[in-house]
Structure 1
Amino acid sequence: MPAPPEDAADTAPVPAPIVARHWYTRWLLRALAVLALALGIAGVFIPGLPTTVFILMAGWAAMRSSPRMHAWLWRHPLFGPMLQNWQAGGLVSRRAKRSATVMMAVCAAILWLTPTPVWVRWLACGCMACVLLWLWRRPEPA
């Protein structure tokens, strides 16, 4: 009997890491990777905190500091597809676009319902609109 097909994230080749030369640079980048990963995980649960951006930062920092962490992120069932799509040409999935749109809409609604200065509301909503415009113009994976 043939083996069941593996997940695409498990079979995708991990790009060769470009490890920083100096030990202190590697440690700073590793700390950045761990912090960005923690913020990305928190972003799954906290409205307004982006997930994809922090995972991309974690992947970038891990690639330059820890080949083991980079390989783990690359093969992770949740984070791997984000990194692989971005590596394949800055692709962003429709699911990620929808999720970001919903979360930004929730944040905008909360912002307008709280007592904040009007200019803060307009500035924040304008920034979110610019990010959404950029995000929805990104190509999607096939």
Structure 2
Amino acid sequence: MGEPSGKTGFRILAYISAGMAVIGVALPLLPTTPFVLLAAFFASKGSPAFARWLDTHPRFGPAIENWRLRRAVPASAKALACGMMTVSWAMLLLMGASLMVLGIVGTCLAATACYLLTRPSC
């Protein structure tokens, strides 16, 4: 018959996330690590072969392994993510976003940064 539609959805999300990670390797403004971790998660649900490929990839595999074993994120990824969140919030400020928008976005970004910074570094 065919595979369940859930697996297809996870596979599509895995490929999109992996594509974003590959773009992030070349584009310094786009962090690679979060997209690699998303791709690994989605691939584990929808494509075992793609999950194995990611796990053994020389660039992506170590980040996945560090996350799975120790929930660790590279210090450089933490710095880039926090820097980009700061730039994003500053752009909203400079574009004249309302105080409510600045407060809500700032709170979400600060919470994300706190979570990220409390993870071990690798």
The TM-score normalised by the length of structure 1 is 0.71
- Cα RMSD of the aligned pairs, angstroms, is 2.2
Match of 1:68 among 26, 49, 52: 49
The residue that corresponds to 2:78 in the other structure is 97
The residue that corresponds to 1:134 in the other structure is 115
The aligned amino acid for 2:77 is A
For structure 1, the 5+ residue unaligned runs are: 1-21
Q: In proportion to residue count, which structure has more helix?
A: 2
Q: CA deviation at 1:124?
A: 1.0
The aligned amino acid for 2:33 is T
Match of 1:117 among 98, 103, 117: 98
Larger deviation: 112-121 or 69-78?
A: 69-78
Match of 1:35 among 16, 26, 31: 16
C-alpha distance in 1 between matches for 2:59 and 2:107: 30
Structure 1 residues 112 and 77: alpha-carbon distance in aligned structure 2, compared to 1, 3 A threshold: farther
The aligned amino acid for 1:128 is L
- Name which one, 1 or 2, has greater alpha-carbon Rg: 1
C-alpha distance in 2 between matches for 1:92 and 1:46: 17
SS of residue matched to 2:67: helix
Q: CA deviation at 1:61?
A: 1.5
For structure 2, the 5+ residue unaligned runs are: none
SS of residue matched to 2:65: helix
C-alpha distance in 2 between matches for 1:77 and 1:125: 36
The TM-score normalised by the length of structure 2 is 0.81
Aligned length: 119
Q: CA deviation at 1:109?
A: 1.6
Match of 1:55 among 36, 57, 77: 36
The answer to whether the 8 Å contact 2:75/2:121 transfers is yes
Percent of aligned positions with the same letter in both sequences?
34
